Amino acid sequence: MDLSGHGPAVVLLHGQPGSRRDWQAVAAGLAPTHTVVVPDRPGWGDSPDAAGGFAVNADIVVAQLDELGLDAATIVGHSWGAGVALAVAQQHPARVAGLVLVAPVVPGDRIGPMDRTLASPRLGAVLSFAALGALAFVPRLPGAGRLLTVIEPGLDVAPARSSAATVAPLRSWRSFAVEQRALVDELPGLAGGLADLAVPVTVVMGTADRVIRPQAVARLMRALPGAEVVEVRAGHALPLASPDVIVEAVTATVARARPR
């Protein structure tokens, strides 16, 4: 876990796959005015915990807040990590001062055939191992930088390569498979609490995102009364492509939060 800065607390939760390194630029931008907590989620990076679903991740976030003596924080989640942020708000509302959902998975959205295949016990495990191996290897190839910027518009290639280097296929494929099953089994259950959120919520989305469909984000916004949306011309990997936009969104959300 990385801890830096002073001020209102912010927790940054990476996506799937990923690690705390994905947030380096965002954390650096927030640290002058915020206490920034950046953990490796269970099953990733240096986390000692085994991978789990959204509920398990949410409980670990709260345990980390306890360890640091923090009563509440603005929870920022990217992609799968945004589902964790919603789970924290649903299970432990008193610990959440605000939410920033970055290119979020959307509760109630249709789970596509690929996600369902990756969630299957046997074929999903094989495909997860292959996908994580490719993710760790491909960014190191000559010419991979140009390919990455085509796939992810606006991506800063250097931190993307650094992030990919943290993926250890022999461990990460299991974490990936566990979290894929949670997409199918647990994510729909997070939809029920959306209308009850009583904290500021900001959704940051990339207009060129090929992972999260715009229609899904539109439905999410309708389910979140009072939420604000920030659009950026980029793809899905927003912590690496648009850290300044996220810093501004987090700062604005913290400012809207009621003192605790």
Whether 30 is in a domain gets the answer: yes
What confidence score (pLDDT) does residue 150 get? 46
State the Cα angle at 195 between 177 and 111, rounded to 5°: 30
- Contact, 81 vs 235, CB < 8 A? no
CA distance linking residue 245 with residue 224, whole number of Å: 21
What confidence score (pLDDT) does residue 15 get? 94
What confidence score (pLDDT) does residue 171 get? 62
pLDDT at 9 over 60: yes
What confidence score (pLDDT) does residue 140 get? 56
Whether 208 is in a domain gets the answer: yes
Whether 136 is in a domain gets the answer: no
What confidence score (pLDDT) does residue 257 get? 87
Torsion sign across C-alpha atoms 107, 176, 97, 238: negative
Whether 100 is in a domain gets the answer: yes
Of 157, 148, 164, 16, nearest in space to 83 by CA: 16
Better-scored residue on pLDDT, 219 or 244: 244
pLDDT at 228 over 70: yes
Q: Which single residue is written with the structure tokens 């959204």?
A: 54
pLDDT at 168 over 90: no
What confidence score (pLDDT) does residue 148 get? 47
Whether 148 is in a domain gets the answer: no
For the sheet with 9-13, list strands across it. 2-4, 35-38, 9-13, 73-78, 96-102, 201-206, 228-232
Whether 130 is in a domain gets the answer: no
Condensed to tens digits (0 to 9), the pLDDT of residues 104-119 reads: 999 977 666 656 565 5
Residue 78's domain is classified under what CATH number? 3.40.50.1820
Segment 49-61 mean pLDDT: 96
Return the number of other C-beta atoms located less than 10 Å from residue 198's C-beta. 11
CA distance linking residue 210 with residue 137, whole number of Å: 21
Segment 150-173 mean pLDDT: 55
Chain mean position to CA 17: 9
- Contact, 239 vs 22, CB < 8 A? yes
Question: What is the number of domains present in the chain?
Answer: 1
Segment 217-244 mean pLDDT: 90
Whether 116 is in a domain gets the answer: no
Whether 154 is in a domain gets the answer: no
Q: What is the mean pLDDT of the chain?
A: 84
What confidence score (pLDDT) does residue 177 get? 85
pTM score, whole prediction: 0.84
What confidence score (pLDDT) does residue 149 get? 47
Domain span at 14: 2-110+188-256
